Amino acid sequence: MPISTDLLQAKQTVSTRLLRAGRRGGAVVARRCIRISSAMASAGGNVHAVGVGKKITGGVVTKETCVRIYVVQKLPASMLSPRDHLPQRIDGVVTDVIESAPAFALGQSAVKKAPPKAARATTRRSIDVAQEACSDNRQAAQRPVVAGISVAHEDVTAGTLACFCRSTLAGDDPDQILALSNNHVFADTNRAEIGDDLYQPGPADGGTAADRIATLLRYQEIVIDGQTPNRVDAAVGLMLPEIESSPTICSIGALEGMERGVEGMEVRKHGRTTGYTEGVITDEAYDALVGMDPADPNAVALFDDQLRIEVTPPFQAIGLGGDSGSLIVNRAAARAVGLFFAGPESGVYGIANQMNDVMEALDIEPI
């Protein structure tokens, strides 16, 4: 069911005011405070995201849809000054304040670590031996190239190949195969040049010029000022004609189209680091301040109308560093709903671009 106009307007009112304060207050680079006095002093800049989802009361998720306000640290109302009180209602719409760590673009550390053992595809489905081998070798070179495995720009550590696409731009060859991932994976967060080499596996996993599979074709630039809204962190590479590929995703298989992600939808993904994981979309229309470089507190981008996805048991993380670029797929059917790009260090939730926005921004369609 589409989000009501009243909810969207209320969310936008909260987002515009509180995320601006959060950017000024450094909410993205903040960590949960040890000293209450420090937390109280920074309460006005505590908000890092605003979305639309279900209200939580007494630790129980209710059926009431509300505007959800995410803060670095939640404090009792009695400890806040009047100006720092977050509204309980906006234009008659209920709000909910939730404590949550801020998100960062999930680049992989340059130090290679052994991949964690991937959970098997699902308790509802089984996968064959070939799919298990694909997942177990997700940080190694695989030919034919499939989606859901290690890939990156020649100057980036490692990310994940989302899926294969074709261009819808007039004048482009519709038979050419394109590989999709994030801007920060394929275009080095706006620093790359068109035509740069893309490796599979990524450099952090041993990829070299001998592992070149594609060249950067185009990307959507990310405005990193903390106030100009971005919709996608996305880029595509043109597959080299001599590189064989298969339009399948490790542990998931072939896509059956795409659809809009909605709150409550159960989803899955396969990524370079954590392999196969599952989660649920808890927020639509999710606006978030995202750190694009953990070493630079000023490298913060605002992303609007995203999906917030929280991990579900038995999985411990929906995604970690190196899983950026993973395709978010409906668990009930193999339809793409989002492009994963950010999350906290714990991996308990992640942020994904709506798939339709990615397709429109890059003039592509999935194969």
Same structural domain, 153 and 77: no
What pLDDT does residue 148 have?
98
Confidence band of 34 (pLDDT split at 50, 70, 90): very low
In this structure, the chain runs to a length of: 367
Q: Which domain holds residue 81?
A: 5-100
What pLDDT does residue 31 have?
46
Same structural domain, 342 and 229: yes
What pLDDT does residue 129 have?
60
Domain finish residue from 100, 126, 156: 100
Domain finish residue from 68, 100, 132: 100
What pLDDT does residue 35 have?
39
pLDDT tens-digit map of 48-72: 999 999 999 988 999 999 999 999 8
Same structural domain, 150 and 57: no
162 or 110: which carries more pLDDT confidence? 162
What is the arithmetic mean of pLDDT over 138-154? 98
Domain finish residue from 39, 67, 100: 100
Domains of the chain: total: 2
Distance CA 350, CA 108 (A): 15
What pLDDT does residue 122 have?
45
Q: Which of 330, 334, 325 is nearest to 352 (CA)?
A: 325
Question: Token pair for residue 198?
Answer: 């893309």
Same structural domain, 12 and 144: no
CATH of the domain at 117: 2.40.10.10
* Rounded alpha-carbon distances, angstroms, from residue 167 to 57, 92, 232, 362: 46, 44, 17, 8
Same structural domain, 73 and 154: no
What is the arithmetic mean of pLDDT over 21-28? 58
Same structural domain, 12 and 121: no
pLDDT tens-digit map of 298-317: 899 999 999 999 999 999 99
Q: Is the dihedral of CA 131, 133, 134, 138 positive or negative?
A: positive
pLDDT tens-digit map of 277-297: 999 999 999 999 999 987 888
Residues 6 or more apart in contact with residue 298 via CB below 8 angstroms: none
Same structural domain, 64 and 112: no
Same structural domain, 72 and 132: no
Per the listing, tokens 């038979």 go with 175
What is the arithmetic mean of pLDDT over 217-240? 97
Distance CA 336, CA 333 (A): 9
Q: pLDDT at residue 227 above 80?
A: yes
Per the listing, tokens 């043109």 go with 238
Q: Which of 182-196, 266-280, 293-307 has the lowest mean pLDDT?
A: 293-307
Distance CA 109, CA 90 (A): 41
What is the arithmetic mean of pLDDT over 247-275? 97
Q: pLDDT at residue 33 above 50?
A: no
Q: pLDDT at residue 117 above 90?
A: no
What is the arithmetic mean of pLDDT over 113-136? 58
Query: pTM to 2 decimals?
Result: 0.90
What is the arithmetic mean of pLDDT over 321-325? 97
Q: pLDDT at residue 30 above 90?
A: no
Same structural domain, 86 and 128: no
Same structural domain, 92 and 133: no
Same structural domain, 70 and 183: no
Same structural domain, 167 and 242: yes
74 or 237: which carries more pLDDT confidence? 237
